[in-house]
Amino acid sequence: MSRAAIRYAKAVLSLAQDKKATDDVQKDMQTIIDTVDTNADLNMLLNSPLIKSEIKLASLREVFKSTGDLTNKLFETLVTNKRIDLLVEVAKQYIVLLDRHNNTQVAKVTTAVPLDKAMSNKILAKVKELTGNEATLENEIDESIIGGFILRVGDMQYNASIAHKLTTLRRELSN
């Protein structure tokens, strides 16, 4: 995580708060993250030193036509300062900073099967009890954990997966 990305994210958050557009900018940032992470060509374009800044800016404007003024200004600023390679990192930091400002956080739960509504509510209640903050839940599916779950909230992780328990048992038996 670069300090520059955090500074840009703080600046965008400050402007978004002034214009009362934090939610709109958050949607833009999430769209940027999702789009760039799933599009190798766009990722390569942003990180290539051979492609001119004007082409990068024009491409971003074309790909992200529906984004707001603040997000477009961020594109321009990053291109002008030759830091467009930080775009995804800035977007991720913006979301982290906004969540911190709103006293919410993202709890990532990895399970072997999708969570049902009742289990999601239990996990959210446990996260609130542990951290004191509200959370939104992201459910990742990973069949290799066999069963149970892995919960990540901020820098805290709780691993209650069957695969982890089997590995621990295997280690104990080998000693």
What confidence tens digit (pLDDT) does each residue in 69-84 have? 999 999 999 999 999 9
Please indicate, yes or no, whether residues 83 and 143 belong to a single structural domain of this protein: no
Closest among 130, 132, 138 to 104, alpha carbons compared: 132
39, 117: one domain: no
pLDDT band for position 160 (cuts 50, 70, 90):
confident
The total domain count for the chain is: 2
Residue 1 has pLDDT above 70, yes or no: no
Judgement on whether residues 127 and 47 belong to the same structural domain of the protein: no
Q: What is the mean pLDDT of residues 23-35?
A: 95
Q: Is the domain of 66 the same as that of 109?
A: no
User: Could you tell me the pLDDT band of residue 172, with boundaries at 50, 70 and 90?
Assistant: very high
Q: Alpha-carbon distance 32 to 12, whole Å?
A: 14
Residues 44, 112, single domain; the answer is no
For residue 111, list its beta bridge partners.
141, 149
Report the chain's mean pLDDT, rounded to a whole number: 91
- Domain encompassing residue 152: 103-174
- Do 69 and 107 lie in a common domain? no
Residues 65 and 20 in one domain: yes
Residues 74 and 40 in one domain: yes
Q: What is the DSSP letter of 85?
A: G
Domain end: 59, 80, 100, which one? 100
| Residue 119 sits in the same domain as residue 164 | yes
Residue 89, CA distances (Å) to 20, 32, 101, 166, 172 in order = 23, 10, 18, 36, 40
Once rounded to an integer, what is the mean pLDDT over residues 6-24?
Answer: 95
| Rg of the Cα atoms in the chain | 20
Confidence of residue 132 (pLDDT cuts 50, 70, 90): confident
Verdict on whether the full-model pTM lies above 0.85 = no
Q: Dump pLDDT digits (tens) for 139-155.
A: 999 999 998 889 888 77
Q: pLDDT tens digit string along 37-58? A: 999 999 999 999 999 999 999 9
